[in-house]
C-alpha cells in the first residue's frame, strides 16, 4: 500500500516473536518516523537542509539500546 508521501509500507513479518507491547512500541516508532520523514520532505521543499545526527544512545538495564537523534538545520541558499 502506498501512502500519501509516496513511500510504501513494509509487509508484516508473520514470523515475529515480539510481545504485543514490543509490537506496539515498534508501531509507534514507525508512525513517528513516517511523520518525521514527511516533515523533512516539506522542509527540504521549503528550501531548508535537514541532517539527522545521532547525539546520544539510550541504554536500559537489559542490554538493549536505541539511538537518540537531533536535527541539524541549515537555511536554504
Kind of pairing, strands 65-74 and 49-59? antiparallel
* Span 10-65, pLDDT tens digits: 776 666 789 999 999 999 999 999 999 999 999 999 999 999 999 999 999 999 99
The answer to whether 52 and 69 have CB atoms below 8 angstroms apart is: yes
According to DSSP H, which parts of 1-77 are helical? 20-45
- Report DSSP letters for 20-38, one per residue: HHHHHHHHHHHHHHHHHHH
Q: Sorting pLDDT into bands at 50, 70 and 90, what band is 4?
A: low
Residue 41 dihedral angles phi and psi, to the nearest 5°: -60, -45
pLDDT at 9: 75
pLDDT at 31: 97
pLDDT at 27: 95
Amino acid at each position: 500500500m502506498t501512502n500519501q508521501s509516496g513511500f510504501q509500507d513494509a509487509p508484516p513479518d508473520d514470523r515475529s516473536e515480539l510481545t504485543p507491547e514490543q509490537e506496539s512500541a515498534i508501531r509507534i516508532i514507525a508512525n513517528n518516523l513516517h511523520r518525521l520523514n514527511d516533515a523533512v520532505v516539506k522542509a527540504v521543499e521549503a528550501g531548508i537542509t535537514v541532517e539527522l545526527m545521532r547525539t546520544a544512545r539510550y541504554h536500559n538495564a537489559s542490554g538493549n539500546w536505541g539511538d537518540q537523534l537531533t536535527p541539524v538545520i541549515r537555511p536554504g541558499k
